[in-house]
Amino acid sequence: MKRVIKEIYPYVIILAVVVLIRTFIATPVKVDGTSMYPTLKGNEFLILNKLGHPKRFSIVVVDEKEDDLIKRVIGLPNETIEIKNSVIYINGKKLEDKYGSGETSGYDKIKLKSDEYFVLGDNRENSRDSRVIGPVKEKELKGTTNFILFPFNKIGKIDK
């Protein structure tokens, strides 16, 4: 019996480490749909950093009721966001947005709370984001991502 326990002990340790890493540090996440196109495409797998702190333009995973959403952080806590004529304004100043493609539909001025973020998909004409679901609470953010794991020909840091 001791011999069997001694033989399986390393596998138990490995399994425990994998479970801890996936639960608290990093886990794979799959891109579903075209809301982050052209930056990300459907069926790509990313590594989600659960310890990452979102900054402006970080790619985040939002825990939405029906499913997880992969979006880009545009507005940070306590900022005022407004979208007019496809231009995003942060605290009244035009945001230089190099990530968005397509027309960005308007959004009335809103002041984010101290625990809220405003997120948009890069494919602005085909994205369910803060323009639809409203600001995202910090507790709804599962983490940040900037690394493609699959397909293997794209493995590495996200370009955009």
User: Among all residues, which ones are annotated catalytic?
Assistant: 35, 71
The total number of residues shown for the chain amounts to: 160
Distance CA 9, CA 135 (A): 47
Unique residue bearing structure tokens 């539909």: 105
Residues 6+ apart with CB under 8 A from 121: 35, 36, 70, 71, 72, 127, 128, 129
DSSP 111: E
Unique residue bearing structure tokens 């996440």: 29
Structure tokens at 120: 């948009």
